Chain A
Amino acid sequence: MGKKILIAEDSSTMRSLIGSTIAAMGDYDVVEAENGFEALRILPREMVDMVITDINMPDINGLELISFIRSNDNYKSLPLVIVSTEGSEKDRQKGLALGADAYLVKPFVPEELQNLIRKFLG
Chain B
Amino acid sequence: MGGPSSQAITDFLGEAEEIIENLNNDLMVLGDCAESGTCEPDLLNRIFRGAHSLKGLSGMFGFDDVSALSHQLENLLDSLRLGKVALSNDLVSVLFDGMDMLTRLVDGKAENPDFTSDLNPILQRIESTLHGNNSAGDDPFSDYNVDPEILTILTEYEEHRILENLKQKKNLFKVKVDFDLCSFDQDLGILTDLLKEQGEVISTLPSAGDLTDRIAFQIIVGTDKDADEIVQLLGRDEATVESAVGGNKPAPSFQEVALETPPPEVLPPSVQQPAEPAAPVSARSISRTVRVDIDKLDLLMNVVGELVLSKAAITRVCDRLKSEGSRELGTELQKATRTLERRLEELQKGVMEVRMVPVAQLFDKMNRIVRKVASERGKQVSLEVNGADTELDKLIVEDLSDPLMHIIRNSIDHGIEPPEERQASGKQGKGLIRLSASQKGNHVVIEIQDDGRGIDPDKIKQKAIEKGLVSAGDKLTREQIYDLLFTPGFSTAETVSDLSGRGVGMDVVKNNISHLSGMVELDSTVGAGTTMAITLPITLAIIKALIIKVCGNTYAIPINSVLETIMVEPSAVRTIERKEVIELRDSTLPLLFLETIFNLSDRSRGKNRFFVAVVGFADKKVGIVVDELLGQQDVVIKSLGESLSFVRGIAGAADLGNQKTILVLDVGGLMSEALRGDSAFYV
Contact = CB atoms under 8 A, between A and B. Distances in A.
B59 A67 contact: no
A73 B210 CA distance: 10
Interface residues of A, number: 46
Interface string A51-79: 00001101111011101100111100000
A24 B205 contact: no
Contacts of A97: 152
Interface in B182-232: 184-185, 188, 192, 203-208, 212, 215
Given A12-B15, A91-B156, A106-B59, A72 B52 contact: no
A102 interface: no
A60 B287 CA distance: 14
Contacts of B59: 85, 106-107
Nearest to B46: A58
Interface string B44-78: 00100100110111011010000100010011001
A115 to B, nearest CB: 13
Contact of A107 (B53, B60, B192, B205): B60
A56 to B, nearest CB: 5
A104 B225 CA distance: 42
Contact of B206 (A68, A84, A88): A68
A44 B184 CA distance: 12
B15 A72 contact: no
Contacts of A108: 60
B208 A11 contact: no
Contacts of A20: 1, 8
Contacts of B188: 37
A42 B483 CA distance: 61
Contact of A90 (B156, B192, B204): B156
Contact of A58 (B49, B75, B184): B49
B474 to A, nearest CB: 59
Given A12-B291, A40-B184, A40-B215, A61 B155 contact: yes
B53 A67 contact: no
Contact of A63 (B52, B55, B154): B154
A68 B207 contact: yes
A48 interface: no
A40 B216 CA distance: 11
B53 A10 contact: yes
B647 interface: no
A106 B212 CA distance: 35
A104 B268 CA distance: 44
Contacts of B278: none
B208 A16 contact: no
Given A17-B4, A17-B8, A37-B286, A68 B57 contact: no
Contact of A91 (B67, B155, B203, B287): B155
Nearest to B12: A13
A38 B154 CA distance: 20
A21 B4 CA distance: 10
Nearest to A13: B15
Contacts of B384: none
B4 to A, nearest CB: 7
B11 interface: yes
Given A40-B206, A87-B78, A34 B287 contact: yes
Contacts of A106: 55-56, 59-60
6 contacts: A20-B1, A21-B1, A34-B286, A36-B206, A60-B204, A106-B55
